[in-house]
C-alpha cells in the first residue's frame, strides 16, 4: 500500500515535469522549419522563414533546424517528423495550411506556427496573416510625393482580395498625400491575371508608361516584368543604372512588394512594401517562450513589426522631407492602434475602400 503511494507520487511528479516544457529546466526550445517545395534559396518566404528561425537562435537561444520538402506528398510526413523531434514547428504559405492543421491536431503538446495563411482553429496552432496594406499605405505616400506626372500605378499580379488590399492601402496613401498637400495624384490599376507572368507584367507596365504613369507598384514574379519595363524605359531616356548611381534622377520608378526589392535596380526602385516574415516568426517563438502564445488566427501589422517600407537607402534624397514626416507620423499612429490605418487583410473593392478612407486628423498637423 505504502509502496503504491510512493509510486503514485513519483508518477504524479513525473507527469507534472512532463507538462512543463523543457524551458523550465533551461533546456532550449527545439524549433524546426518545414519549407514548401520552393525550399531554401527561393529568395522568398522560405528564406524568410529560415532567417526568422536563425534570429530566434541568436536572440532567444533556441536550437533551430530545417526540413525542405521535395513534393507536396512530403508535407505531412515532414511535419509529423518535425513534430516528433521539436517543441515548435514552423511552416509558411497556404500550400502548408491543410497539412499543418492535420498534423497539429495529432500533436497537442507541440506548438505550430503558420505564417501568411489561415489554418484551422486549434489551441496549439497559431496562424499569422500580415497586414501588408499598411506597408503599401506608406509606399503610397512616398510615391505620391515623388511622382512628376501626377499618376502612379499598380499592376495587381492577380485581382484577389489579399492583393487588392495592397492596392487599397497604396491608394489610401496617395489620397492622404493629396488631401494634405492639395495635390491631385491619380492611381491607375491594372490586373495581370497571373502571379507568374513577367511578360504580361512588362506589357502592362509599358502601356501604363504610355498613359503617363511614372511610378508602378507590383509583386510576385509578374512584378519582376514590371520592374524590367521601368529599367528599360529609363535606359531609353539615357538614364542607366550607372547614371542613377552617379546622382541622376530616374524618370520611372518601381515599388516592390513582400520582400525588400530595392536592390533589383538600385535607385530605380523607390521602395518596397514589406512582409516581415522573419520578425513574425521571431515574435511567435518569443510568445511561446514567455508563455503568451495563443492558438488561432492572428492579424499582425506594424504594431508587431510585421510590415512597413524599406529604409529607402537608394532613394531617400528624392523624397521630400514633408513626405517622410507624414510617413513617420503614420507609423506612429499605426503603432498606437489607429483604427483608420488598420488596413484590412482582404479588400473586395479598392476603389470603394479608398473613397471611404478617412485621412486621420492627426496627420493634418504634420505639414502645418
Residues lying near other proteins in the complex (CB under 8 A) are found at: 32, 37, 39-40, 65-68, 70-74, 76-78, 80-81, 85, 94-95, 97-98, 106, 160-162
CB of 349: closest distance to other proteins in angstroms? 16
* Angle of the 75-85 helix axis to the 97-106 helix axis, nearest 10: 40
Distance of CA 321 to the CA centre of its chain: 26
Q: Strand 186-191 vs strand 30-34: parallel, antiparallel, or unpaired?
A: unpaired
CB of 167: closest distance to other proteins in angstroms? 15
Burial of residue 238, with CB atoms counted within 10 A of its CB: 0-12 exposed, 13-18 middle, 19 or more buried: exposed
Whole-number Å distance between alpha carbons of 62 and 54: 9
CB of 35: closest distance to other proteins in angstroms? 9
Whether 222 contacts 204, CB under 8 Å: no
Between 37 and 241, CB nearer to other proteins: 37
Between 76 and 318, CB nearer to other proteins: 76
Whether 164 contacts 348, CB under 8 Å: yes
Between 65 and 221, CB nearer to other proteins: 65
Between 18 and 72, CB nearer to other proteins: 72
Between 129 and 214, CB nearer to other proteins: 129
Strand partners, 64: 31
CB of 93: closest distance to other proteins in angstroms? 11
CB of 71: closest distance to other proteins in angstroms? 5
Between 84 and 313, CB nearer to other proteins: 84
Between 68 and 149, CB nearer to other proteins: 68
Whole-number Å distance between alpha carbons of 291 and 283: 12
CB of 31: closest distance to other proteins in angstroms? 13
Between 124 and 149, CB nearer to other proteins: 124
Q: In what order do the strands lie in the sheet with 307-309?
A: 186-191, 151-156, 215-218, 253-258, 269-275, 307-309
Rounded to 10 degrees, what is the CA torsion of 253, 254, 260, 261?
Answer: -100
CB of 343: closest distance to other proteins in angstroms? 17
CB of 80: closest distance to other proteins in angstroms? 5
Q: How many CB atoms lie within 10 A of CB 118?
A: 17
State whether residue 84 is helix, strand or coil.
Answer: helix
Residues in contact with 94: Cβ distance below 8 Å, sequence separation at least 6, in sequence order: 116, 117, 118
Amino acid at each position: 500500500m505504502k509502496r503504491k503511494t510512493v509510486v503514485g507520487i513519483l508518477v504524479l511528479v513525473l507527469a507534472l515535469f512532463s507538462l512543463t516544457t523543457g524551458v523550465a529546466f533551461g533546456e532550449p526550445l527545439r524549433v524546426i522549419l518545414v519549407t514548401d517545395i520552393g525550399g531554401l534559396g527561393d529568395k522568398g518566404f522560405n528564406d524568410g522563414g529560415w532567417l526568422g528561425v536563425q534570429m530566434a537562435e541568436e536572440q532567444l537561444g533556441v536550437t533551430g533546424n530545417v526540413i525542405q520538402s521535395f513534393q507536396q506528398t512530403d508535407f505531412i510526413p515532414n511535419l509529423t517528423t518535425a513534430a516528433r523531434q521539436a517543441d515548435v514547428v514552423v511552416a509558411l504559405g497556404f500550400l502548408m495550411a491543410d497539412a499543418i492543421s492535420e498534423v497539429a491536431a495529432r500533436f497537442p503538446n507541440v506548438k505550430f506556427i503558420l505564417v501568411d495563411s489561415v489554418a484551422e482553429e486549434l489551441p496549439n496552432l497559431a496562424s499569422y496573416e500580415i497586414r501588408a496594406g499598411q506597408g503599401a499605405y506608406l509606399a503610397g505616400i512616398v510615391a505620391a510625393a515623388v511622382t512628376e506626372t501626377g499618376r502612379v500605378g499598380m499592376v495587381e499580379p492577380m485581382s484577389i482580395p489579399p492583393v487588392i488590399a495592397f492596392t487599397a492601402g497604396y491608394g489610401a496613401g496617395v489620397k492622404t498625400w493629396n488631401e494634405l498637400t492639395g495635390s491631385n495624384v491619380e492611381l491607375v490599376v491594372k490586373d495581370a491575371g497571373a502571379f507568374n507572368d513577367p511578360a504580361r507584367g512588362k506589357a502592362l507596365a509599358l502601356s501604363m508608361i504610355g498613359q503617363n504613369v511614372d511610378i508602378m507598384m507590383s509583386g510576385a514574379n509578374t512584378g519582376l516584368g514590371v520592374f524590367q519595363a521601368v529599367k528599360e524605359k529609363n535606359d531609353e531616356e539615357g538614364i542607366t543604372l550607372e547614371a542613377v548611381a552617379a546622382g541622376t534622377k530616374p524618370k520611372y520608378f518601381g515599388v516592390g512588394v513582400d520582400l525588400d526589392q530595392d536592390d533589383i535596380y538600385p535607385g530605380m526602385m523607390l521602395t518596397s512594401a514589406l512582409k516581415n516574415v522573419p520578425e513574425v516568426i521571431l515574435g511567435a517563438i518569443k510568445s511561446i517562450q514567455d508563455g503568451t502564445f495563443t492558438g488561432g488566427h492572428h492579424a499582425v501589422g506594424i504594431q508587431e513589426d510585421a510590415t512597413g517600407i524599406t529604409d529607402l537607402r537608394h532613394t531617400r534624397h528624392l523624397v521630400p522631407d514633408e513626405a517622410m514626416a507624414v510617413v513617420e507620423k503614420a507609423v506612429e499612429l499605426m503603432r498606437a492602434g489607429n483604427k483608420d490605418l488598420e488596413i484590412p487583410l482582404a479588400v473586395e473593392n479598392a476603389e470603394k475602400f479608398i473613397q471611404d478612407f478617412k485621412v486621420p486628423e492627426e496627420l493634418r498637423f504634420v505639414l502645418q
